[in-house]
Amino acid sequence: MALRSIEQKIEGMVEKTFGRMFRSTLQPVELARRLAREMEDHKTVSVSRVYVPNQYTVYLSPADRRQFSSYESALVVELGSYLEAHARSEGLSLLSMPRIRLETDSDLRPGEFGIACRMVDPGRPGPEAAEPAADVADAAAAPDEGIAAPAPEAVPPEPTAPDEPGEPVPNEALAAVSGTQVLSPEQARAAGLVREQVTLYVAGQPFRVTQKVTTMGRSRDCDIVVPDPNVSRVHAEVRHEGLEYVLVDLGSTNGVEVNGRRVLRHNLRDGDRVSLGGAEVVVERR
């Protein structure tokens, strides 16, 4: 029974259709939130990791599909990047970069949409016609009404994320993710498809930021020790939140300044000059 349950999650996980009526039209941010929720609802716990689906098919009404037609390629890349960042921030594991596909379902009304998700090994594509994990029901309709979401079509294997930090995803891989659009390395970095390197230079000494939370201060217990008497024992920390690295003042005595301006919280950018009570830290994002 347990083996069958795992097989169903890996080969045929289908989300219940969500129906929400909007005053205007369906918004991409609503799709992103629902996709993230589906990712968390379909976790598979392994020995040392928690895996989540890497393929998602979003079923839209004809009217909603038309409104996305002019920028659909960019939208699916952005949604995939959002899911990758969400998985990373929550400590979830993916077998490959998330792939998003948009499909039209004529049974859906404007504002309603369905999501089917699966976990697919990019090296070993599984059966394409899998049984759905649950019946698809319309949340906005009466309880006895149902909307059947079609099974996802066959898709090619996904490219795996680069092994080396900072290594760009090949253009061919980006084309597979977006459907048609091929991104430049700069666009890929902006979309979060490249593992970014963040380095903090303290008195000229480089410190790579590799943790979700990195503390800075005078104490030897900090991840980055700043040996300056004007620096508090635990002065500030850098938090990795989604695609951002956020500098946060932890109630220090002499405060935090970025580029000469006092801050309590700041999204770090390449070239930022941070002052921790007078001790200078230079930020490099690549």
CA–CA gap between residue 14 and residue 196 (Å, rounded): 32
CA–CA gap between residue 254 and residue 278 (Å, rounded): 8
β-sheet bridge partners, residue 262: 257
CA–CA gap between residue 222 and residue 218 (Å, rounded): 7
The owner of tokens 């599984």 is: 126
Q: What is the pLDDT along the chain (286 residues), one digit of tens a residue?
A: 444 444 444 444 443 334 444 345 788 888 998 999 999 888 888 777 888 999 999 999 999 999 998 999 999 999 999 999 998 888 888 888 899 999 999 888 888 888 999 888 776 544 443 333 333 333 333 333 333 444 444 444 444 444 444 444 444 443 444 343 444 445 555 554 445 789 999 988 999 998 889 999 999 999 999 999 999 999 999 998 877 899 999 999 999 999 999 999 999 999 999 999 889 999 998 8
User: Pairing state of beta strands 279-285 and 273-276?
Assistant: antiparallel
